[in-house]
Amino acid sequence: MGLAPGPVMTASSPNMPPDRTRLGWFAAGFLHAARLPMFVMALTFLGIGSLAREAGVSLGVALTGTLLIWAGPAQVIFLGAVLGGVPLMAIALSVSLSSVRLLPMCVSLLPLLRGPKTSLLTTLYTTHQIAVTGWAESIRRLPNMEPQARLPWFMGLVHGLYLSATLATVAGYLLSANLPRELAAGLLFVTPIYFIAALVRNVREPADWLALAFGLVLTPALKPLVGAGFDLLLVGLVGGTLAWAIQRGLKRRGMR
Amino acid sequence: MTFDQWSGGLWPYLAVIMFGFLPSEFWRTLSIFLAREIDEGSPLLEWVRAVSTALLAGVVANILLTPSGALASVPLAARLGAMGFGLAVYFALRRSVIAAVVAGEAAIIAAAYYFH
């Protein structure tokens, strides 16, 4: 990513025979994850593992959270609320609000991943894998791939992420020694710096720049106006719609 | 009722499933029915992608503006500065996401040492 164009971008790239097997595509996706995203996941989930230890849940429960919830912010909210003794129904509501953002991500990825013959079970399993990192890594790559390559490549990618998140949850739980404050700050900074760089890399058209800028600017503007949880959804809807409408306006005038 | 009251045996696992997994997974499952009518390259899909992008940018802004834990001990200007530095390195080094992450991390850890 960045230094060299990914080897898995198109079937026409020289080192990528179009007749690659499903296993080959899976391996290509896995190797893509190993280039950076797995390290980002590992750093994020080290933090989640140590938060779980702090919250007093067992390692098994912490791992169940990583494998089943599979959304970093939702897990942080869940564990943080357990730590604070928040009632379970209130935890469920906050977790659900934080995961609303998965809806547009799944809706934008599914048409790329799902073929006419994909079973409901496969679809359910596929949507479960979709979270922010997997979305950011694949939303711009999948359209350039042949349809039959997309699902195995995506599966390789997300299972690489799963592997690293699981190992890091265990490591964070077991190590959880008091990290120096400077390194703890560094761990918490991994998510924002990685996501912003990945979003900038994903930019292809004016709407992407606009959506990115509106998202950054609208968050502090809208936060005082709406309650926690809903603010993010509103930022997405307002910022995304504005960006999309402006781009459509530009296209119509033939100015793009 | 709190998590502590669901302690012992398999109860904590059931609590994770009921109050963590299901509330989150609901949106993923709902997407299957919403995505059914949308095909690749439709304007609706462009709109959904723009919404997701703005949302993710909002997540980043949230972490930067109202951080938790150790990151909160670094002043806002330093957090924004580290982000700007990471992005500058991203463009300077031929759009490398890895370089951006490394540079941003170096800047934030240095800032955390400086503003202790």
**DSSP secondary structure, chain B, as one string:** -BGGGG-STTHHHHHHIIIIIHHHHHHHHHHHHHHTT--TT-HHHHHHHHHHHHHHHHHHHHHHHS--GGGGGS-HHHHHHHHHHHHHHHHHTTS-HHHHHHHHHHHHHHHHHHT-
Structure ipTM: 0.87
- Chain B residues with CB under 8 Å of A103 CB are 27-28, 30-31, 34
Dist. CA A219–CA A236, nearest whole Å: 9
Q: Which residues of A191-226 are buried (b: 16+ CB within 10 A; e: fewer)?
A: bbbbbbbbbbbbeeeebbbbbbebbbbbbbebbeee
| CA separation, residue A215 to residues A74, A202, A218, A239 (Å) | 20, 15, 5, 6
Dist. CA B51–CA A85, nearest whole Å: 34
What domain range is A35 assigned to?
22-190
Q: Which of B29, B46, B73 sits opposite A207 (nearest CB)?
A: B46
pLDDT at A1: 37
| CA separation, residue A252 to residues A204, A249, B8 (Å) | 18, 5, 62
pLDDT exceeds 90 at position B45: no
pLDDT exceeds 90 at position B110: yes
Strand partners, B2: A87
pLDDT exceeds 70 at position A61: yes
Do the domain assignments include residue A13? no
pLDDT exceeds 50 at position A196: yes
Chain pair A-B, CB pairs under 8 angstroms: 323
Please tell me whether residues A149 and A210 are part of one structural domain. no
Please say which residue of A155, A190, A225 terminates a domain.
Answer: A190
Least confident of A26-30, A127-131, B26-30, B54-58: B54-58
pLDDT at A226: 67
Q: Which of A88, A102, A181 sits opposite B2 (nearest CB)?
A: A88
Please tell me whether residues A178 and A245 are part of one structural domain. no
Please tell me whether residues A186 and A207 are part of one structural domain. no
Do the domain assignments include residue A151? yes
Do the domain assignments include residue A209? yes
Please tell me whether residues A172 and A233 are part of one structural domain. no
Please tell me whether residues A60 and A173 are part of one structural domain. yes
Give the residue with greater pLDDT, A123 vs A85: A123
For chain A, how many helices (H) and strands (E)?
12, 0
pLDDT exceeds 80 at position B24: yes
Q: Are B22 and A128 in contact (CB under 8 A)?
A: no
Rounded (10°) angle between helices A37-55 and A181-202: 140
pLDDT exceeds 90 at position A38: yes
Dist. CA B12–CA A52, nearest whole Å: 13
pLDDT at A42: 92
pLDDT exceeds 90 at position A112: yes
pLDDT exceeds 90 at position A177: no
Q: Which of A69, A112, A193 sits opposite B100 (nearest CB)?
A: A193
Do the domain assignments include residue A57? yes
Please tell me whether residues A119 and A61 are part of one structural domain. yes
Q: What is residue A87's three-state secondary structure? A: strand
Q: Are B29 and A124 in contact (CB under 8 A)?
A: yes
Do the domain assignments include residue A7? no
Please tell me whether residues A113 and A229 are part of one structural domain. no
Rounded (10°) angle between helices A181-202 and B76-92: 50
Mean pLDDT of A101-129: 91
Please tell me whether residues A123 and A250 are part of one structural domain. no
Give the residue with greater pLDDT, B18 vs A73: B18
Do the domain assignments include residue A1? no
Q: Which of B4, B31, B112 sits opposite A103 (nearest CB)?
A: B31
Ramachandran assignment for B89, one of left (phi > 0), alpha (psi -120 to 50 degrees), beta (any other): alpha
pLDDT at A83: 79
Q: Minimal Cα–Cα distance from A47 to chain B, Å?
A: 11
Dist. CA A133–CA A40, nearest whole Å: 9
Q: Are A37 and A201 in contact (CB under 8 A)?
A: no
Please say which residue of A145, A168, A190 terminates a domain.
Answer: A190
Q: Minimal Cα–Cα distance from A16 to chain B, Å?
A: 22
Please tell me whether residues A140 and A244 are part of one structural domain. no
Please tell me whether residues A213 and A177 are part of one structural domain. no
Mean pLDDT of A168-185: 84
pLDDT exceeds 80 at position B112: yes
Tell me if B24 and A82 make a contact (CB, 8 A cut-off).
no
Do the domain assignments include residue A119? yes
Please tell me whether residues A143 and A223 are part of one structural domain. no
CA A233: distance to chain centroid?
A: 16
Least confident of A141-145, A186-190, B26-30: A186-190
Q: How many domains does the structure of chain A reveal?
A: 2
- Chain A residues with CB under 8 Å of B95 CB are 2, 200-201
Q: Are A59 and A79 in contact (CB under 8 A)?
A: no
Do the domain assignments include residue A177? yes
Tell me if B90 and A200 make a contact (CB, 8 A cut-off).
yes
Please tell me whether residues A127 and A227 are part of one structural domain. no
Q: Does B14 contact chain A (CB < 8 Å)?
A: no
Mean pLDDT of A140-157: 94
Q: Minimal Cα–Cα distance from A139 to chain B, Å?
A: 9
- For A243, what's the count of Cα atoms within 13 Å in the CB-facing half-sphere? 32
pLDDT exceeds 90 at position B75: yes
- Chain B residues with CB under 8 Å of A195 CB are 56, 59-60
